[in-house]
Amino acid sequence: MFIQKMCGPAAVVLACVTTIGCSDPGPGLESASETADAGTEATTASTTGTTAPTTTDAPEAEPVTWHQNIAPIFVQKCSGCHSDGGIAPFSLTSYEAAKPFATPALDAVERGTMPPFLADETADCRPRHGWQDDPRLSDDELELLRAWVDQGAPEGDPATAAPLPEPPEVALNDADVRVAIPTPVSVDGDKDLFLCFSLDPGFEDDTWIDAVQISAGNPQVVHHVLAYVDESGASADKVNEDGYYPCFGGPGINTANLIAAWAPGMTPFEMPPKVASRVAAGSRIVMQVHYHPTGKPELDSDTSLDLRIHDTVPEFVGMLALIGNSEGPQLLPSEHDDKGYPEFRIPAGVENHVEQMLFKLDDVPPLRVFAVGTHMHYVGTDMLVGLQRPSPDGDEPAEECLLQTPRWDFNWQRTYSYDAALDAVPQVTAGDQLYLRCTYNNSMSNPFVVQALAQQGLDAPKDVRLGEETLDEMCLAVVGIAIALKDAI
Read off the amino acid at residue 304.
S
Whole-number Cα distances in Å, 274 to 94, 271, 418: 40, 8, 15
Contact 156, 68 (CB under 8 A): yes
Around Cβ 45, how many Cβ atoms within 10 Å? Answer: 9
Cβ contacts of residue 31 below 8 Å, gap of 6+? none
pLDDT at res. 254: 81
**Phi, psi for 101 (deg, rounded to 5):** -105, 15
pLDDT given for residue 189 in this prediction: 86
Angle at CA of residue 429, ends 427 and 432, nearest 5°: 100
CA–CA dist 142, 130 (Å, integer): 18
Backbone angles phi, psi at 99, to 5 degrees: -55, -45
Q: At residue 388, what are phi and psi to the nearest 5 degrees?
A: -125, 135
Q: How far apart are CA 434 and CA 19, in angstroms?
A: 10
Calculate the CA 161 to chain-centre distance.
35
List phi, psi (to 5°) of 96: -60, -40
**What's the pLDDT score for residue 266?**
73
- pLDDT, residue 114, reads 92
What radius of gyration do the chain's Cα atoms show? Answer: 26
End-to-end CA distance of the chain: 27
**What does CATH list as the number for 181-314?**
2.60.120.310
| CB contact at 8 A, 80 and 167 | yes
Secondary element (H or E) of residue 106: helix 102-111
CA-CA distance, 380 to 438, in Å (whole number)? Answer: 7
* Residue limits of CATH 2.60.120.310 in the chain: 181-314
Instruction: Indicate the residue type of 28.
Output: G
Q: Which amino acid is at 387?
A: L
Count of all residues that appear for the chain in the document: 489
- CA-based nearest residue to 401, from 413, 415, 389, 414: 389
**What pTM value is reported for the model?**
0.80
| pLDDT tens per residue across all 489 residues of the chain | 333 333 332 333 222 222 333 333 332 223 323 333 333 333 333 333 334 444 455 556 789 999 999 999 999 999 878 888 666 789 999 999 999 999 999 999 999 889 989 999 999 999 999 999 899 999 999 999 999 999 999 999 999 999 999 887 778 999 999 999 999 999 998 888 989 999 999 999 999 999 999 999 998 889 889 899 999 999 999 999 999 999 976 798 888 888 888 877 677 889 999 999 999 999 999 999 999 888 889 999 999 999 999 999 999 999 988 899 999 999 999 999 987 899 999 999 999 999 999 999 998 999 999 999 999 999 999 999 999 999 998 889 999 999 999 999 988 888 899 999 999 999 999 999 999 999 999 999 999 999 889 878 899 999 999 998 878 999 999 999 999 999 987
C-alpha 96/C-alpha 80 separation (Å) is 18
Q: Decide: helix, strand or coil at residue 403.
A: strand
**Residue-level pLDDT at 298:** 92
Three-class DSSP category at 487: helix
CB 75 within 8 A of CB 161: no
